[in-house]
Structure 1
Amino acid sequence: MSASRVAEFQQHSGKVLWNIAVAMVYAAVIMIAVEYSFYRLMPMSFWLWYENVRVLEPAVEGTKLTFQSFSEVNRRSNVRWTDTLYCDLHDGNGFRNHASQIAHRDGVDPSGLSAKNWTFHPLAPTAGSTCAMISSISLLLPYGIEKRQVIDGYARDQLFDIQPKGSL
């Protein structure tokens, strides 16, 4: 093989390798764009959905409250729950934030529609208060995408009264 043919072959090989590298970069960008779009466009219900959050037992002043959530998890999910208890202490200031708690769990496994009991750790306010739970459920997806569903007990007319200690 002559020197000119070798040089021509090397030049052609370099162009082919360059074109392959560029094609691989384009393919990677397209794959990432498709995956990002999928996470961005799919509704939260594709992964999980909450139906309701309600107080389970009579709510007693100065105690932890027990709630029940009705949810369906369709795919393994990373979830953050932010639960805020809004109460009207009947002091003329209306409903206001009484207390909040945040819980986070990675890898929540799929389950059919089911009821789950959980404890709200901040203590209930004084007897005679009227309260509602507002729960914000956040689905934490790749690429920093977060989808949120809010269960508003106040808007759903799921108010409950705080009972005095020893009344039940």
Structure 2
Amino acid sequence: MPQIDQAASIYASQLLWLLLVFAVIYVVIGRGMLPKIEGTVQARNDTIAGDLAAAEAARAAAATVEKDYAAEMARAHKAAAEAVATAKAEAVRHTETVLGHAAADTAETLAKAELALANARARALADIEGVAAEAARDIVARLSGAQIGEGEAMAAVRAQLAA
């Protein structure tokens, strides 16, 4: 077979070209492309590290802002609670003042009403005594035919009402 017979004569030249091609590939890839790839990977790693550092700084800043916010909210809640307590105390004082005035007005009105009631009762009692005295005079006049005076009839009625 002629293909096998020529293998020995071209074997050395093929081996040389194989080594030469591998050397060119090594130089082109190893010395030319590999540093660019490593540079890109290093730049990516640097970018990631920078982003992580920026994220950590942002997290720390957010934690500080959150602490400040919590402190401000606590102060605001305290101020609001104090304002509510002050308003409540003022409302209680105002209510007590208004109730005091209302109680005084009510007591005055009640005293006037009691006086008016006592006066009306006295007038009514006087009217009842007058009517009872007149009725007693009429009854005595009809039953016995005797005429009694107004003063005697009034005295008798008052004595009966008192008993």
Question: Which structure is higher in strand share?
Answer: 1
TM-score by length of 1: 0.31
Larger Rg: 2
**Higher relative helix content:** 2
Q: Which has the higher contact order (CA 8 A, sep 6+)?
A: 1
